[in-house]
Amino acid sequence: MTDMIPAWVNGTLTPVEKLAAHVQGLRHKAISVFVMDGDRILIQQRALGKYHTPGLWANTCCTHPRWEETADACARRRLREELGIADLALEYRDRVEYRAEVGGGLTEHEVVDIFRAEADPALRVAPNPEEVMAVRWVGLEALMQEVAEHPARFTPWLRIYLAEHARAIFGDPAAA
């Protein structure tokens, strides 16, 4: 069975096959999760078998909810499926919308529910090699500098989150 995700077609939320949503550039629902250890973020390098943006670095995990799946349930499911992470307390941070070309004639036009979770430094991560080829912890400032210096190494959505939505995701750095 193909992955049916919630997308807007002629103004109505409708189940649409995931690849079709990207080919047609349809506005659709998504989730993104940032797992943190203080100011360090767990990021992942997408597996080379992914149908778009293979080998690029992204936030901890991101995906599309299944038709009739809640954003929270989707975030928990994908943390488990992609990284073997379970039982983190997810904090809803924001809903954002972006549109980005992701290569191969595909477009992500997403309405994203963003979650953040605090993790212990000893968090056990078991990446699924079909989804993730590597993970690493990186400080927020170091990540922003690395993205500025080498943007092609990172997914379009991570670049957008850092440039346009960092305050909503990470809070006010002046308050830290």
List active site positions.
Answer: 62, 110
Average pLDDT estimate for 46-63: 96
| 113 in a structural domain | yes
Average pLDDT estimate for 88-97: 97
pTM (predicted TM-score): 0.94
| 13 in a structural domain | yes
Residue 28: other Cβ atoms inside 10 A: 25
| 176 in a structural domain | no
Cβ burial of 63 (10 Å; 0-12, 13-18, 19+) is buried
- Residue 174 above 60 pLDDT? no
| 175 in a structural domain | no
How many domains are there within the chain? 1
Tell me the β-bridge partners of 96.
112
Domain containing 153: what range?
4-168
State both tokens at 140. Answer: 């927020």
**Confidence band of 121 (pLDDT split at 50, 70, 90):** confident
Average pLDDT estimate for 83-109: 95
Nearest residue to 19 (alpha-carbon basis) of 33, 42, 3, 39: 3
Average pLDDT estimate for 67-75: 96
Residue 46 sits in a domain whose CATH number is: 3.90.79.10
Alpha-carbon span 76 to 88, nearest angstrom? 8
- Residue 14 above 90 pLDDT? yes
| Dmax (CA) of the chain | 48
